[in-house]
Amino acid sequence: MSTTSASARTDSLSRDALAVLQPGFRGTTTAPDWLLRRIDEGLASVALFGRNIERPEQVAALTGQLRAERGDLLVAIDEEGGDVTRLEVNEGSSFPGNLALGAVDDPDLTRAVAQEIGRRLAEVGVNLDWAPSADVNANPDNPVIGVRSFGADPKLVARHTAAYVEGMQAAGVATSVKHFPGHGDTAVDSHHDLPRIDADLNVLADRDLVPFRAAVAAGTKAVMSAHILVPALDPNRPATLSPEALHGLLRRPVADGGFGFDGLIISDAIEMKAISAAYGVERGTVLALAAGVDAICVGGGLADEDTVRRLRDALVQAVRAGELKEERLADAAARVRALADWARLDTRGAGSAGGSTSAVAAAPEVGLAAARRAVRVTAGPRATAPLTRPAYVAAFTPMASIAVGDDTPWGVAAELARLLPGTETEALNNARVTEHGVPETIAQVCAKAGERPIVAVVRDVHRHTWMTEALAALVAARPDTIVVEMGVPQAAPVGALHIATHGAARVCGRAAAEVITGG
């Protein structure tokens, strides 16, 4: 091979290796120089996280800056609505999230919510959403899915997943349905360790895989793989690294029992411990591409130029060493570019600088309407009239999952204070309850509340022993306590009034506050 030919091959490999990465960047709401340089060298996707977002105008300017380097750039985001929001990371989501939509069970509403989220994303120049979660919440103790799922019924999850795909893609934003082959029946968060699902193939087919078949049938442009071990599919490697799960099931023709999916396969974040702890990010990236992944999500934790360089070099070296077929890397890069071509905003209704000229009608209140419809109220034997005076809110606060993060506010207190000025709140967590004990903690709450009515806000109370015990003690001490469950309403209703919102987003808090005040 001549020097010129070798140089051209190296450049081609390098550009393809960059094309399959979907990296984030740290500490700035404008694009750093290194990122712009890598886009010029072949990077085809960039991911935005909450740290990159201040307000819509700033995001539009940022995506415009990125597309000045490459007009067909994929700009990805993890915007599920509900708990997992990036566009509204600092104030809480305008949309209630999947469990609320599943509780309403109106696919037209789900379609409308997804289309409005998509419209807002397109308006600021985002054209790929790592959503929705199509996981069937088969394990109510799941520490990472919960309200991110439409529910525990596979058919319900399937119809809402399909509606979400249709709604968002109608706005010109590609969906990446996750977490294939289903993260719902796990007791471990793959951010921290490798979950395992021991269901047999029949259970998988009748439960976990049903929504993904519906998503593919609805035309989803992308599917995100899960870092979970499913021995029925592959006893040795998690789905992200498994040829059997990806080539052997997701890509296999429908006539042969597969999904027949021909779109983009994206990995969940490659730096998550389920992959990085066992394989390292470089080796994990190579194995993922070899298994059938087309795009590597990275940047939630590792978000710097060195990471991009290391992953690019690992892929190039793997091709040269014969560990990764050159044709596989080229095919993956081609799939990324094909999706970028479909989602190119300046040919689908929104300007490449982020300014929207979309014909999709705005529906700004659809999220609040959905949140209101999702509320379920159970009146106890001491049910009280709507509150008309300031309350005292005791917010029982569990540790947030990495997927949700600590930055996004949640709860009822802010909305209740808006309706009932003078309302105060305090946060109670496991550490405080453990340190002081349940009786002393609850005595302190009652003393601070005084004569004011108490509103107890909980989240997945069934998963937290400390919360269950503290709530029971509070209701025993103050039977007129109003309880708002903002997680999965698995535990039996308690309190004078029990309000299940099926989500903890800002609009869920508003819907609950309206019930409490009769507003």
Question: Is-catalytic flag, 464?
Answer: no
As to burial, measured by CB atoms within 10 angstroms (0-12 exposed, 13-18 middle, 19+ buried), residue 416 is buried
Give whole-number Cα distances, 20 to 23, 265, 299, 330, 339, in Å.
Answer: 10, 10, 14, 9, 12
Give whole-number Cα distances, 118 to 129, 161, 374, in Å.
Answer: 8, 14, 21
Question: Is the C-alpha dihedral spanning 188, 191, 194, 200 positive or negative?
Answer: positive
CA separation for the pair 245, 197 (Å, rounded): 13
* 24 closest CA partner among 286, 402, 301: 301
CA separation for the pair 261, 140 (Å, rounded): 29
* 182 closest CA partner among 134, 221, 220: 134
Per-residue burial over 195-224, b = 16 or more CB atoms within 10 Å of its CB, e = otherwise: bebebeeeebeebbbbbbbbbbebebbbbb
How many residues does the structure list for the chain? 519
Residue 59 near residue 51 (C-beta atoms within 8 A) = no
CA separation for the pair 324, 16 (Å, rounded): 13
DSSP collapsed to 3 states, 203-234: HHHHCCCHHHHHHHHCCCCEEEECCCECCCCC
DSSP element (H, E) containing 262: none
CA separation for the pair 154, 105 (Å, rounded): 13
Backbone angles phi, psi at 177, to 5 degrees: -70, 135
From 160, 179, 183, 191, active-site residue: 191
From 83, 234, 268, 460, active-site residue: 268
Question: Residue 472: CA atoms inside 13 Å, Cβ hemisphere, count?
Answer: 11
| One-letter amino acid of 153 | D
DSSP element (H, E) containing 28: none
Q: What is the CA radius of gyration of the chain?
A: 24
Give whole-number Cα distances, 375 to 354, 371, 484, in Å.
Answer: 35, 7, 10
* 215 closest CA partner among 244, 250, 256, 186: 250
Three-state secondary-structure class, residue 389: coil
Question: Is-catalytic flag, 191?
Answer: yes
Catalytic residue numbers, as ranges: 191, 268
